[in-house]
Amino acid sequence: MRIVIIGNSATAVGAIESIREHDQGAEIMVISEEGPMIYSRPMLSHYLAGEIDRSRLAYRPADFYTRHHVALITDDPVVAIEPAAHQVTTSTGKVIAYDRLLISTGGQPIVPPVPGLDLEGVFTFTRQRDATRLARYLEGQGEQRAVVVGGGMIGIKATDALIKRGVQVTMVELAPAILAAALDDTASAMIKRLLEGHGVSVRTENTVTEIRGDGDGRVSTALLKDGTLVDCEAVVFGIGVRPNAGLASAAGLQVNRGVCVDEYMRTSDPDIYAAGDVAEAYDLVVDMNRTVAIWPNAYRQGAIAGAHMVGVSRPDPGGVAMNTVEVMGVPAMSIGNGNAPEEGHDILAQIDERAVTYKRLVMRDGRLIGAILVGEIDRAGIYTGLIRNKIDVGQHRQRLLEGHVSLLSLPEQYRKHVVQGAGIEV
């Protein structure tokens, strides 16, 4: 059997490791538009910040492909998929047949069509070469000022990295608050204060409408929606990604915003799978299919698709939207529906202004559906486990907010299940 994987990131690795766990014989080929090093996109902010060098970007060792007997085509994106013929075509004209295909083309960075995008000094933040170019660009500068467009997870990570390089940052965000999709007003305000404490100018309900150059083709100023002009040497777009689903829709597969998949990551074609940032899979907190472009989902969905391809059934119970970001050493986590409104939900919240810690737990029908943690993130996965497993914690609600969350403050049967393993009713 020949398995072809389009894309070379977390999803591909998840699929390969899952396939090889069960099947040593299947042929696997990976076709990527980038170079051979598998790197981790979320790591780019650490790289940009100067915390790690390029070699540490590698997500798996250099011999990963040889060890897992995977053939690799690099710098040659797939341009067409023909489901009926069971083959794909690359940009250099290679035609490759497949028995099973996994589309893991990831996401495209969202860049609004403003004037001045072609100036030197405009960057997105999703590809390794973008991060490398940005780092090199900043090294060459005297004064370093940047405008970061986007106050979501990616924008915050870019900002944090830039602060660590000594860059003065102005962050613009269209919504009334930064991290509005993940955090509530309180947590968002805490992060905003943190950023401002480090010299970042945070401008909400704002965005860049035009980028102007200095006459030599380099960025010199950004014009904001409210009319302000910000002098800067770089503009970094960290708005987010949209599913890179063009190939799939061109091939006639069912595509919504992302490629529609079932619990085994199968598309509308039984021999084609999609996983990762490109796919629209089941989210168990909101109880519907949607794209949640986070690393854990990408890997897990890849593993599920890979397993199913070689006949192992591992249905996806569903993803939970979650992310973690750190601003100058202060962590903030959002898990599930952490910023749900008060109405219709049972909210437990605790804030300690001095220590900059905040916890907000969202419950509905006695079950945890979301959590926001700022500052104190010890053992946060316990909350994630409660969300995933939909445990009834109604009677234990007060104990959930204890300083250090513990398994002993949860229903006994659940605790025993986690600690002692399978066989105990949850």
Partner 1 sequence: MKRIVIHEEHCIGCRLCEVHCLVQHSKSHDIIKAYRRERTELMPRLIVEESGPVSFALQCRQCDEPACLEACISGAMHRDERTGAVVCDESKCVGCWMCIMVCPAGAIRQNTLGTRIASKCDLCYGADVPACVAHCPNGALTYEEVLERNGGEA
Footprint of partner 1 on this chain (CB under 8 A)? 14, 40-43, 46, 51-52, 56, 58-60, 295-296, 299-300, 303, 314, 317, 322, 324, 326, 331, 333, 335, 377-382, 384-385, 388-390, 405-409, 417-422, 426
Joined together, the tokens standing for residue 411 give 């229903």
CB of 416 to partner 1, least distance (A): 8
CB of 406 to partner 1, least distance (A): 5
* Identity of the residue, 253 or 293, whose beta carbon is nearer to partner 1 in the bound complex: 293
* Identity of the residue, 9 or 170, whose beta carbon is nearer to partner 1 in the bound complex: 9
Helix, strand, coil % over all residues of the chain, rounded to 5? 30, 30, 40
CB of 113 to partner 1, least distance (A): 31
CB of 284 to partner 1, least distance (A): 11
| Phi, psi of 90, deg, nearest 5 | -100, 175
Closest alpha carbon to 320 in 169, 115, 182, 150: 182
* Identity of the residue, 86 or 360, whose beta carbon is nearer to partner 1 in the bound complex: 360
| CA distance readout (Å), 39 to 123, 247, 248, 380 | 19, 23, 24, 26
* Identity of the residue, 56 or 133, whose beta carbon is nearer to partner 1 in the bound complex: 56
- 81: Cβ–Cβ under 8 A, 6 or more apart, which residues? 6, 88, 101, 103, 247, 248, 250, 251, 272
Q: Is the CA virtual torsion 373, 378, 381, 385 positive or negative?
A: negative
Count Cα neighbours of 260 within 13 Å in the Cβ-side half-sphere. 9
CB of 157 to partner 1, least distance (A): 10
CB of 298 to partner 1, least distance (A): 9
CB of 356 to partner 1, least distance (A): 15
Q: DSSP letters of 167-219?
A: -EEEEEESSSSTTTTTS-HHHHHHHHHHHHHTT-EEEES--EEEEEE-SSSBE
* Identity of the residue, 81 or 361, whose beta carbon is nearer to partner 1 in the bound complex: 361
* Identity of the residue, 266 or 300, whose beta carbon is nearer to partner 1 in the bound complex: 300
* Identity of the residue, 224 or 261, whose beta carbon is nearer to partner 1 in the bound complex: 261
Joined together, the tokens standing for residue 278 give 């490109």
Joined together, the tokens standing for residue 207 give 């965005």
